[in-house]
Chain A
Amino acid sequence: MATVPSTANVVVIGAGIVGNSLVHHLTRLGWKDVVQLDKGALPNPGGSTGHASNFIFPVDHSREITDLTMDSVRQYQEMGVFTQSGGFEVARTEERMEELRRRMSSAKAWGIDSELVTPAQVVEKVPFLDPDQIIGAFWTPTVGVVDSLRAGTIMREQALATGELTVVAGAEVEDLVVEDGEHGRRIRSVVTDQGTIEASYVVIAAGVWSPKLGDMAGVRIALTPAVHQMISVGPCPQLAETDGEISFPIIRDMDTFCYERQHGADMEVGSYAHRPILHEPEEIPSIEQARLSPTEMPFTEDDFDQQLEEALELMPELLGAEGAEIRYAINGLLSLTADGNPILGESEVKGLWVSAAVWIKEGPGVGRAVAEWMTHGHSEIDLHHSDIARFHPHETTREHVRARTSEAFNKTYGIVHPGEQWGSDREVRYSPMADSQKALGAVFHETVGWERPFWYDSNADLLETYGDRVMPREHEWDSRWWSPIINAEHLAMREHAGVVDLTAFSIFDITGPGALASVQRTCVAQCDVAVGKVVYTPVLDAKGGFLSDLTVMRLGEDRFRVVTGGAHGMADRKHFTDRLVDGAELADVTEEVSTIGIWGPKAREVLASLSSDDLSDGGFGFLTSREIDVKGVDAPVLASRISYVGDLGWELYVPFSAAASLWDALLTAGREHGVRPVGIGVYGTTGRLEKGYRAFGAELDAERTIVETGMQRPKVKAADFLGREAYLAQREAAPAAVLCTLTVDDHTSASGVKRYMLGGEPILTTDGQLLTDGHGHHSYVTSAGSAPSLGKHVLLAFLPPEEATIGNRLAVSYMEELYPVTVGSVDATPLLDPDNERLR
C-alpha cells in the first residue's frame, strides 16, 4: 500500500462510489498526479456505499437526477455490474394511482420506457405478492441492481492503470489548510495522520463525513447523516430456488414508503416510513468503535414494527414462510440534503471541490459530471440544482438542514405536489413591508428563505369583478397551492396596475476600475453602455449553455448593479465573483436594498403623482434607470424601467429602511386608480407566460442555448465573454430544438372535469407519439400557467424544429389523458401584445 505523498495536483478524499468514480473520470480526462485517500480499508472503507441496497429506479420527476441516473446505469452496464430485474411501484390507493399517472408523464418526458399495469400483471412476475393489497402499479423494465463496491474497485483500478493515481487507504484527514488570496481563499494542503499533501485541488467525496471535512476549511456542506432502516429476511423458499442475486422484480410499496428487494435467498425490506433519525457527522463511530461498519448503526426495532406488518401484508407467504428469519437489520446511514439534491461543485474556497450527498443510482454519473466540470468549467449534464453555490447562508446551517430533512424524509416515496411548500424553518426572511402584506391577507410562499406573497386574500373581491375570466380550476390537484385570485390580480394589473414586492431579488454591486471588464467578460450583452442604461443579458458557460439570465444596470463609469432572481442568486454571485478582474470588487447588497415593482397602464400616472421627476416615455425611456424622489419616502429611489410582466412600469430600488414607506405610498396613491398589490403568482407565472418571457431553471439551463430559446440579438458584441465562441457557432447552425409557446385548446378530461397542466408533462403528437428533438430529447412542458388576458392556459416547450410552426396541432399528456394544444409562437414573440405597445 502506498504512503501519503507530499504533493499532488488533486486529492480526492473518499473511496466510496463517488470518490472512485471521480478518480476514474479525472484520470480519463487527463488529470495527472491524483491522490485518493480514505481512512477505511478497501474495497469497503465503511461508508454508505458498503451497505447500500444498490437498486436503481430510473424515473424521477427531476430531469437532472434522471439524467445522472441514466448515465450511471450506462456506466454500470459497461462495467458489467448491472443486473436488470425490472421494478414495480405499486399503489394501494387511488391517490397513489394518480401519482403513478403523473410519474408516467416524467417517464415519457425523460424517455424511459414505463407502463401502468394491473395487480394481475404484477403477480405474473411477482407471484408471492398479494394482489388484493394493491390497485395497480407502475412498471419499469429497466430497473436493476448493481454491485457498487465492485464498480468502485473497477473504476479505481482503471485510474490506477493510467499510472496517475496513488491510493492511500487507512489515512485519516485531520485538517484542510486554506490560504487567503486577493480574490478570496484557496486550498493549499491536506493534513493526514500520515503526513501532509500540498495540493492544487481537493475534492471532498466523503459522504456522511463530508460536513466534518468541510468545516476544516470553513466550508459548510449542508447535508446530514440520516438513518435508512433495512432488514434482510431469509431464507425464503420461493427465493432460494432461484439462481444469482436477483430473479424477481423489485417492489416499491409506495404508500407504505417501503421496498422489497430480493438478494439471493433473502428479501431485503427497506423503509422511508420510520421517524426521521438524524445524526451529526461527529457522532458517527470510528471504524474501531463500530459494531459492523461506522455507517451501519444499531437497529432500532421499534421504529420498524409498522413496516414489518405492512410488508407481511403485501407478501404474506414469502415473508411469513417457515424458517424465514430476520437475519440482518441495520440503521444504515445515508446523506440527506434539505432540497434532496446532491452537493456538487467548487466551494467558496478556490480549488476545494465537493461531491457529496450522492446515492448509488447517481454515483458514476456524478463522478463523470464533476470531473468534466473540474476539467472544462462545465459538464454535459446541467447540474445547477446540485450546485454547492446554490445555498444561501441560512440554508447551510445544521438547524435548517435538520428541520428540512426531517420534514422531507417521509416524502422520499411521498406524493409531492410541484408547488408544495415547506412547513419547517419558515419565516426566516421577510421584506420590510411584511406587516402591510400580512394585513392584506398575503398568502406567503417561500423562496430561499424569503416569505413572498403569492396572492392577497384582500383581492378576493376581484373574483366577482372578473367572473369566469379568472379561469377557476375545479380539480383539487390542479388548484393546490394556487388561487384564482392570482388570475384576478393579473387582470387588475392589466386593467389598472399592480404593485409587486420583489425584495427576494439577489443584488450585487460591482465597482472599481475593473468593474466594466469584469461585467463584460461575464455577460453576453453589451454592457459598455451609457450610464443609466439597463441591460438584460444571458450568462453562458464555455459551451454556450445558460448559467443565468439577469439584468445589469450601469450606475456609473465604474459601477454596475446586477439584479437576479433569489433562487439562483448565490450561484450567480459565484459566476461574477469567479470572473472579477483585478481592480474590481463585488458587494452583495441583497439584504440592504429592497425592490418594489409597479406595472400596468396606470403605473406612470401613479408614480408621477408621487414624484417631481419626468417619467414620460421621452424623459424616462425603456431600459434606463435613474434616481428619482418619491413623496413620503425618506431616501432616494433608484427607478429602472423594465418589465417582466409585459406592462409599462418600473422596478424601484430602495434601502430596506425606506421600503415600507415606498410600498405604502404606491398603494395609497394607486387606490383611486384601481391599483392593487399583486403577488408572485402574477409576476412569476401569468404575467411572464403571456409575454413568453423565459425563466432560468425552467426554460433556461446549461443544456439550452440562446438560439434554441429564440433570444438571439442581431449582433454579437466584439468584446470577449465566456461562451462567445460557442455562441457564434450556435448562431451559424440550425437549432436542434426550438422553444415554443403553446396553448391548450380543450381542457375537458374523460370524466368531464377540466384539467390544467402544471409543468413537466410530455408534448406528443395528436395520436400520442413522442416528439424527439435534435438532441435526442423528448418535448415536455417547461412552464405552465394561466394567461388570463388571453383566456388560455399557456405551455412553454422545446419542440423539434420541424414541429415548431405556428398553428401546429399537438397534444399534451396529463395524468395519462391527451389534451389538444396549438403552437402559438415559435420564438420569443409574445402571445399578448406582440408589438410590446403596452410597455410604452
Chain B
Amino acid sequence: MADVLVCVKRVPDFSGEVLLSDDAQSADARYVGHTLSNHDLCAVETAVQLAAATGGSATVLTVGSADAVEQLRTALGVGCAAAVLVEADPVTLGPADVAREVAAVVADHEASRGASYDLVLLGNDAADSGDFQVGIRLARLLDRPVVTGVQTVTLDGDRATLVSDVAEGRETYRVPTPAVVTVLEGGVEPRYPTITGRMKAKKIPVEERALSAEPVGSGRVRLRVPAPQSSTSTLLGEGPEAAPAVVDLLQQLGVAR
C-alpha cells in the first residue's frame, strides 16, 4: 500500500505562442489559459496508477495562487484522493521556497498521519520558469534519495524501480523508499477526467495552508522568449501521388505500422 504525494504547478498552456507579462517575471496566459504541463500530468497519472495498484492513495499538492485549485481539481478528477494548496503569489517564489514548503507539508502530514509518503513525485521541470531544482532541493531537505527524468515507476515493497528511455538507451534505477522522483513525460498516458470523476473532485475539500516562511525568491532578473527556431518544411508531394511518401513518414514517426 503506497501513499504518494504528487506536486504540480499551474502554468500557462504553451501549445500556443508564449507571451510574457509586462514585467517579464512570468508568462501570460491570457489567450491560452492555464493547465498542468505534460510532465506534471504524467506525474499525476503515475501517482494514481501506483495508488490503485497498491491499494494506497495519491495526494496532490501545489504551491501557488488560489486559482491553482483548478489544477488540483484536475488531479482530483483523475483519481487523486486529497489535495493541498499552499497559497502564495508564485512570482515571489523561487525553487528553494517551493522545496521548503513541500518539505513542510511532508513533515506535517507525517506527524498527523503517523506515516510518511512513500514517494513524492514532481514534474521534471516547470513549464514556465524552467528551474529544474525543486525535486533535488526537496530530496536534500527530506534526506531522501532522488532520481530525475524518470518515465515509469514501479514499487515492490520498500523499493522503487525507476526507468527512463534516454538517447543512449534505457536507464534503470532501484532506490529504497521513501524517495523523491521527478517525472518526464512519455512513460505513461495521462487519462482525461470522467464526468463522475470531475463531479467527485468538486466535493473533495482542499487543505489550504499559508507559507511556512518568508520567501527568499528566485533571484530572477527577467524572462526572455527565445527567438523562434527556424523550421524547414518539406513538401511530400501533391495529390494522390504523395500518398506513399506520407505513409513512409507516418511509419518513420511510429504513428502507423
**A residues adjacent to B (C-beta < 8 A):** 233, 283, 285-286, 288-292, 297-302, 305, 308-309, 311-312, 319-320, 324-327
How near does chain B come to A739, taking the closest CB pair, in angstroms?
Answer: 53
Asked if B33 and A326 make an inter-chain contact with CB atoms under 8 angstroms apart, the answer reads: no
CB contacts (< 8 Å) of A325 on chain B: these are 191-194
- Cα–Cα, bound, A311→B29 (Å): 30
B13, B16, B70: most-surrounded residue (chain A CB, <10 A): B16
Q: Closest 8 CB pairs between A and B? A: A298-B33, A285-B31, A325-B192, A291-B16, A291-B32, A288-B17, A289-B17, A289-B31
- Cα–Cα, bound, A670→B198 (Å): 69
- Cα–Cα, bound, A173→B236 (Å): 31
How near does chain B come to A26, taking the closest CB pair, in angstroms?
Answer: 29
CB contacts (< 8 Å) of A324 on chain B: these are 194-195
A291, A292, A327: most-surrounded residue (chain B CB, <10 A): A291
Q: Which residue in A233, A290, A300, A301 is a CB contact (below 8 Å) of B31?
A: A290
Asked if A289 and B199 make an inter-chain contact with CB atoms under 8 angstroms apart, the answer reads: no
CB contacts (< 8 Å) of B70 on chain A: these are 301-302
Q: With A298-B33, A312-B199 given, is the CB distance from A288 to B16 under 8 Å?
A: yes
Asked if B194 and A291 make an inter-chain contact with CB atoms under 8 angstroms apart, the answer reads: no
Q: Which residue in B29, B74, B199 is a CB contact (below 8 Å) of A308?
A: B199
B144 interface residue (CB < 8 Å to A):
no
Which chain A residue shows the least CB distance to B73? Answer: A301
How near does chain B come to A261, taking the closest CB pair, in angstroms?
Answer: 16
Interface string of B46-83 (1 = CB under 8 A from A): 00000000000000000000000010011000000000
Interface string of B158-191 (1 = CB under 8 A from A): 0000000000000000000000000000000001
CB interface residues, B 4-26, toward A, < 8 Å: 13, 15-17, 19
Asked if A327 and B192 make an inter-chain contact with CB atoms under 8 angstroms apart, the answer reads: yes
- Chosen A-B contacts, 21 in total, with CB atoms closer than 8 Å, are A233-B194, A285-B30, A286-B17, A290-B16, A291-B15, A291-B31, A291-B33, A297-B31, A302-B70, A305-B198, A305-B202, A308-B195, A308-B199, A311-B195, A312-B196, A320-B195, A325-B194, A326-B192, A326-B193, A326-B198, A327-B192
- Cα–Cα, bound, A308→B73 (Å): 15
Which chain B residue shows the least CB distance to A328? Answer: B192
- Cα–Cα, bound, A308→B77 (Å): 13
B17, B32, B195, B199: most-surrounded residue (chain A CB, <10 A): B195
Asked if B31 and A309 make an inter-chain contact with CB atoms under 8 angstroms apart, the answer reads: no
A289, A290, A305, A311: most-surrounded residue (chain B CB, <10 A): A289
B137 interface residue (CB < 8 Å to A):
no
CB contacts (< 8 Å) of A289 on chain B: these are 16-17, 19, 31-32
Q: With A288-B17, A291-B13 given, is the CB distance from A326 to B195 under 8 Å?
A: yes
Which chain B residue shows the least CB distance to A305? Answer: B202
Asked if A320 and B31 make an inter-chain contact with CB atoms under 8 angstroms apart, the answer reads: no
Contacts A298-B29, A300-B33 known; 6 new A-B pairs at CB < 8 A: A286-B17, A298-B31, A301-B73, A320-B196, A326-B193, A327-B192
- Cα–Cα, bound, A639→B202 (Å): 69
Which chain A residue shows the least CB distance to B16? Answer: A291
CB contacts (< 8 Å) of B30 on chain A: these are 283, 285
- Cα–Cα, bound, A260→B199 (Å): 18
B32, B34, B191: most-surrounded residue (chain A CB, <10 A): B32
Which chain A residue shows the least CB distance to B14? Answer: A291
Q: Which residue in A283, A290, A319 is a CB contact (below 8 Å) of B32?
A: A290
- Cα–Cα, bound, A822→B191 (Å): 66
CB contacts (< 8 Å) of B31 on chain A: these are 285, 289-291, 297-298
Asked if B192 and A298 make an inter-chain contact with CB atoms under 8 angstroms apart, the answer reads: no
Which chain A residue shows the least CB distance to B29? Answer: A298
Asked if B17 and A309 make an inter-chain contact with CB atoms under 8 angstroms apart, the answer reads: no
How near does chain B come to A153, taking the closest CB pair, in angstroms?
Answer: 16
Q: Which residue in B32, B194, B202 is a CB contact (below 8 Å) of A298?
A: B32
Asked if B199 and A309 make an inter-chain contact with CB atoms under 8 angstroms apart, the answer reads: yes
- Cα–Cα, bound, A291→B17 (Å): 7
How near does chain A come to B71, taking the closest CB pair, in angstroms?
Answer: 10
Asked if A308 and B198 make an inter-chain contact with CB atoms under 8 angstroms apart, the answer reads: yes
Which chain A residue shows the least CB distance to B78? Answer: A325
Which chain B residue shows the least CB distance to A320? Answer: B196
Which chain A residue shows the least CB distance to B18? Answer: A289
CB contacts (< 8 Å) of B199 on chain A: these are 305, 308-309, 312
Q: Which residue in A292, A302, A312 is a CB contact (below 8 Å) of B195?
A: A312
How near does chain B come to A426, taking the closest CB pair, in angstroms?
Answer: 33
- Cα–Cα, bound, A305→B197 (Å): 12
How near does chain B come to A41, taking the closest CB pair, in angstroms?
Answer: 13
